[in-house]
């Protein structure tokens, strides 16, 4: 796999880390109370003209007074990720529901709660202005309760359910109807539905998918790229074993292992070492302290082609391995190839050079 592609992978991973940081930043804990109108049902259908039918409710003639009854089912839920505790309520007031355009004429019924605690502690109070108030209960994330109310209203009146009261950290309590949900289920509605965090995630998901696709293609191409170079190195070794440069007195496996692993580029350094031992020793002494570091960060201002060969990190690492193997030895402050290794490496490099295989610089990483 080439070095530039490794940089792409690193950049992609860094980008994903940045994305996660942004998500973590916007996913701070918060309370988010929402009212949902689950059902809105007329008790009677009085549109039919039935002269002899009279509907009386609590001594009120609905027909003569052009009135009707409607039942609302309303769900109160904490859709945030933080609990609503009593200290978040306004001291003198609690949250509740008010009906505009109608009058609640019966005590509201709690039809369902999400916990035994709410069963015991939740109270709904109806005042004279048809406003409902809920007791200041603890409402943990995803907890809810559902109430049912009976409303008396004029026929064709436009009824509206309004949230009342105030809790800390939330500006308003939204009231969502089934019609609103249908609108939100439209294409545009689904795009813009949700909090800032949801919007960010929706924006980032296609970006992550596309990045992942490019990463997969890059990895696949990189694997193919690596396989091509590995096969090329194996073929070179096979050709060398059949060539006049091969000497069966020596075991070349140590050289072959390094060649298969690192490729052609480090062998340019070895070729330069054979030709100019003095220059190599001069450079090597300046950077000898870096040899024990697997990836030494060598910075040089030299510009000659031969000196540039010595800048590559993998080259210095390979020289360090040759020293540890005993293939390069020190004598009187200078470094030399061990004689048998010199003969082996010389024959192999001469083979690569004569067959123009040092001109093809395949990847070492």
Residue 330's pLDDT is what? 82
**DSSP element (H, E) containing 325:** helix 313-325
Residue 364's pLDDT is what? 44
Strand partners, 132: 97, 126
Measure CA 91 to chain center. Answer: 41
Residue 187's pLDDT is what? 47
Instruction: Tell me how far apart the alpha carbons of residues 21 and 29 are, in angstroms, rounded to a whole number.
Output: 15
Instruction: Tell me how far apart the alpha carbons of residues 159 and 179 are, in angstroms, rounded to a whole number.
Output: 14
Residue 128's pLDDT is what? 74
DSSP 8-state secondary structure symbol assigned to residue 193: -
CA-based nearest residue to 309, from 227, 364, 254 = 364
pTM score of the predicted model: 0.48
Instruction: Tell me how far apart the alpha carbons of residues 19 and 25 are, in angstroms, rounded to a whole number.
Output: 10
**Block residue for tokens 């690193």:** 10
Residue 93's pLDDT is what? 81
Residue 301's pLDDT is what? 40
Q: Is 65:57 a contact under the CB 8 Å cutoff?
A: no
- pLDDT tens for residues 241-260? 999 999 988 899 988 888 88
**Encoded tokens for 351:** 């083979």
Residue 303's pLDDT is what? 36
Strands 175-176 and 33-42: parallel
Give the Cα-Cα-Cα angle 67, 72, 73 (nearest 5 degrees): 165
**Encoded tokens for 235:** 């073929």
CB atoms closer than 10 angstroms to residue 66: 11
Residue 178's pLDDT is what? 65
What parts of the chain have a pLDDT lower than 50?
Answer: 1-2, 187-188, 191-192, 291-312, 363-365
Instruction: Tell me how far apart the alpha carbons of residues 175 and 132 are, in angstroms, rounded to a whole number.
Output: 14
**Block residue for tokens 């292992």:** 257
Q: Residue 149 burial (CB < 10 Å; 0-12/13-18/19+)?
A: buried
Residue 327's pLDDT is what? 84
Q: How far apart are the first and last CA of the chain?
A: 6
């Amino acid at each position: 796999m080439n070095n530039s592609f490794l940089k792409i992978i690193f950049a992609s991973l860094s980008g994903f880390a940045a994305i996660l940081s942004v998500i973590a930043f916007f996913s701070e804990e918060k309370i988010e109370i929402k009212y949902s109108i689950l059902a809105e049902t007329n008790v009677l259908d009085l549109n039919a003209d039935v002269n002899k039918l009279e509907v009386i409710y609590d001594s009120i003639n609905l027909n003569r007074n052009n009135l009707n009854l409607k039942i609302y089912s309303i769900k109160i839920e904490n859709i945030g990720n933080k609990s609503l505790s009593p200290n978040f309520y306004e001291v003198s007031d609690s949250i509740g529901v008010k009906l505009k355009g109608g009058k609640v004429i019966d005590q509201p019924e709690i039809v369902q709660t999400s916990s035994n605690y709410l069963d015991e502690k939740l109270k709904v109070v109806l005042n004279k202005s048809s406003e409902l108030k809920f007791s200041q209960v603890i409402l943990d994330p995803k907890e809810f309760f559902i109430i049912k109310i009976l409303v008396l209203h004029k026929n064709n009146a436009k009824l509206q359910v309004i949230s009342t009261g105030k809790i800390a950290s939330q500006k308003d309590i939204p009231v969502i109807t089934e019609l609103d949900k249908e609108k939100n289920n439209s294409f545009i509605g689904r795009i813009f539905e949700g909090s800032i965090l949801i919007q960010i995630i929706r924006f980032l998901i296609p970006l992550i998918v596309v990045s992942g696709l490019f990463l997969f293609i890059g990895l696949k191409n990189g694997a193919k790229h690596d396989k091509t170079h590995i096969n090329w190195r194996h073929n070179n070794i096979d050709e060398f074993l059949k060539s006049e440069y091969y000497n069966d007195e020596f075991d070349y496996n140590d050289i072959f292992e390094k060649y298969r692993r690192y490729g052609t580029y480090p062998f340019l350094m070895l070729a330069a070492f054979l030709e100019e031992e003095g220059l190599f020793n001069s450079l090597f002494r300046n950077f000898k302290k870096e040899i024990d570091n697997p990836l030494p960060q060598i910075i040089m201002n030299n510009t000659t082609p031969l000196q540039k060969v010595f800048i590559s990190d993998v080259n210095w690492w390979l020289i360090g391995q040759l020293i540890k193997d005993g293939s390069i030895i020190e004598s009187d402050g200078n470094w030399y190839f061990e004689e048998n290794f010199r003969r082996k490496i010389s024959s192999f490099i001469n083979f690569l050079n004569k067959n123009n295989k040092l001109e093809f610089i395949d990847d070492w990483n």
